[in-house]
Amino acid sequence: MNSVRQTQITVVKALAAVVAFIGIMGFVFLKEPVPFLMGLIFGSAISALNFFQLANTLNRAVKMHPGKAQTFAVTQYFIRYIITAIVIYVSITAPYINIIGTVIGLLTIKLIIFATNLFNDKTYYKNIFKRKEDEPNGR
């Protein structure tokens, strides 16, 4: 299996785990958990689908001519942005979906990417405290 597909599966699995954890916390601590859970599932499902669509877009874009790839990526970005706007609008207007749950579901993927690809790497923490002046090339 190629590395892009592997990354997608890792991120979506972690997303499902984190959303399940947040959902259980919401179920335990909130007075009305059902709208929150609906929003959470709605937001995270759309977020995962957007992530897959982004991967498809980039896989296709890198095989194009650079100028065409740029236009293609921007067009696809705005299509995904409109889909997200529709999702947020629906969750604001529908009384059975909580907007906070939807927003948490949409933004959890950022946390997952940081957690799985940046904060689990020890060299990241080492580089924070490393003095740049000590290095011979000054970088």
Partner 1 sequence: MEPITGKALILAASAIGAGLAMIAGIGPGIGQGYAAGKGAEGVGRQPEAQGDIVRTMLLGAAVAETTGIYGLVIALILLFANPLVRML
Q: Provide the binding-site residues for partner 1, judged by CB under 8 A.
A: 2-4, 7-8, 11, 50-51, 54-55, 57-59, 61-67, 69-74, 77-78, 80-81, 84-85, 88-89, 92-93, 99, 103, 106-107, 109-110, 113-114, 117
Task: Using alpha carbons, list the distances in angstroms from residue 133 to 122, 123, 137, 139.
Answer: 21, 18, 9, 7
CB of 42 to partner 1, least distance (A): 14
Cβ closest to partner 1, residue 41 vs residue 100: 100
Cβ closest to partner 1, residue 95 vs residue 136: 95
Cβ closest to partner 1, residue 24 vs residue 86: 86
Asked whether 46 and 21 are in contact (CB, 8 A), the reply is: no
DSSP letters along 29-64, please? H-SSHHHHHHHHHHHHHHHHHHHHHHHHHHHHHTTS
